[in-house]
Amino acid sequence: MLREILYSLAGLILLAYGSEWVLSLFDDPREPKRLQSKIPLFGHLLGMIQYSSGYHGITSKQTDQEIYTVAIFNTKLYIAKTARLIPVIQKASKTVSFRPFMQTASKLMGDAKPETVEVFGSEWLESFSHAHKNGLAPGRNLDKQNLRMGDRALVDIDALLANGKDGVSKVFLLEWSKYAVVQASACGIFGVEHPFRDPKIDQAFWTWQSYLPLHMVNLDITGKGYAAREIVFDAIRKYNKSIPSDASLVYTERLRTMQEAGIDEDDICKQQAAFGIAAFANTVPIMYWAIYELFSRPDLLEEVRKELFEQAISGTKETGFKLEVAALKTKCPLLLSVYQETQRLRHVHANIRKVTEDTLLDGKYLLKAGHFVMMPGQPVHTNKTTWGDSADTFDPY
């Protein structure tokens, strides 16, 4: 019995290696070179499951190629690991496109009907993208949005001071960051009377967020994530019936373009609810790590405080203090550097595109239609050619 099992395992291993070898025979010599995994066919998939987007940082160190191929069964991921290639890929946007993922997101995150998914794959997407840019363009509307966010952020910071004992407040930093980001961002986007003031809606959003990976592969067996998502959908349905006057331009511009495209009103509500994933979930990690990186270094913290008081803060305790927000960017280089260095080292997002037509990238790399291009941040942000020998070290100076 044992011998039969061993023979079967040996046969499966040989079959796997043989299958990968056969698949590699169809590679065009102009395609980025394959990076072999220790386990054939699905080894890279296991690595991605184990290390998430950090896996690309591991594989990028195993080759000196600026773009290489990671194959999972018969699907290829072309991994670009240098800053030089990113604008080249972006210029090829007609055939190396993000549009297919907008369709996927509209369905898996926003539960869109088939006709709505079709709209998200049409030329209309250009006007939708333009509406986003217009809604977040510098000017009076963005100033109002930022002011609402700032006013709300002060509420949560003041609450820490009020609850402190001997000048010290202890909080679970991640939980506090999640709450503070949602409340401030929601004030900016939806207005002061936003739906996420309700703890039930706030909690439902984060429950939904935690189930997103399962929703991507339709494996929310218990339905708990879908139930939480429906709570958020219902909140936005109610909100959209009477949108307040202080709703942000980006929210109303998204609404306008979807209405003009003839998208079903209920689908519009669901897509607007899904906007929170970009507005909230992407902000929390960088805020959490920026606070951690700064406050875990007392000397750096003292320098940043000194810079702030000298360059951006005026007034007295008696008359009240005033913070010049513009000066945070223009006159506080150390504070800005801390933020940027946090983004550089803590960035986990991997931009992805689908190759819709065979494309010769940079005149030498052939990208085959039906496969994908990924531009992970970690290899680019820790490249020693760009950042020097201390590329892996947090250094805001």
Residue 261: inside a domain: yes
If one counts every other C-beta atom within 10 angstroms of the C-beta of residue 2, the result is 6
Q: H-helix or E-strand containing 360?
A: strand 359-361
Of 282, 307, 337, the residue at which a domain comes to its end is 282
> Could you tell me if 325 and 207 lie in one domain?
no
Non-local CB neighbours of 255 within 8 Å, separated by 6+ positions: 240, 243, 268, 272
pLDDT in tens, the chain (397 residues): 666 666 566 666 665 556 565 556 567 788 998 888 776 666 677 777 777 777 888 888 888 889 999 888 778 889 998 889 999 999 998 899 988 888 988 998 999 999 999 999 898 999 999 999 999 999 999 999 999 999 999 999 888 876 666 767 788 999 999 999 999 999 999 999 999 999 999 999 999 999 888 887 788 889 999 999 999 999 999 999 999 999 999 999 999 999 999 999 999 999 999 999 888 988 899 999 999 999 999 999 999 999 999 999 998 888 888 888 889 989 999 999 999 999 999 887 778 899 999 999 999 999 999 899 989 888 888 888 888 888 889 999 8
At 198, list the tokens. 């309700």
Contacts of 374 (CB under 8 A, 6+ apart): 56, 77, 78, 79, 80, 350, 351, 352, 353
Burial 105-143 (b: 16+ CB within 10 A, else e): bbbbbbbbbeebbebbeeebbebbeebbeebeeeeebbe
Helix (H) or strand (E) holding 313, with range, is strand 313-316
| CATH assignment of the domain containing 191 | 1.10.630.10
Q: In the structure encoding, which two tokens stand for residue 78, read together? A: 């072309």
The verdict on 65 and 170 lying in the same domain is no
Q: Tell me which residue range forms the domain holding 36.
A: 2-95+356-387
Q: Are residues 204 and 274 in the same domain?
A: yes
- For residues 90 and 33, membership in a common domain is answered with yes
- 395 occurs within a structural domain: no
User: Strand pairing partners for 375?
Assistant: 351
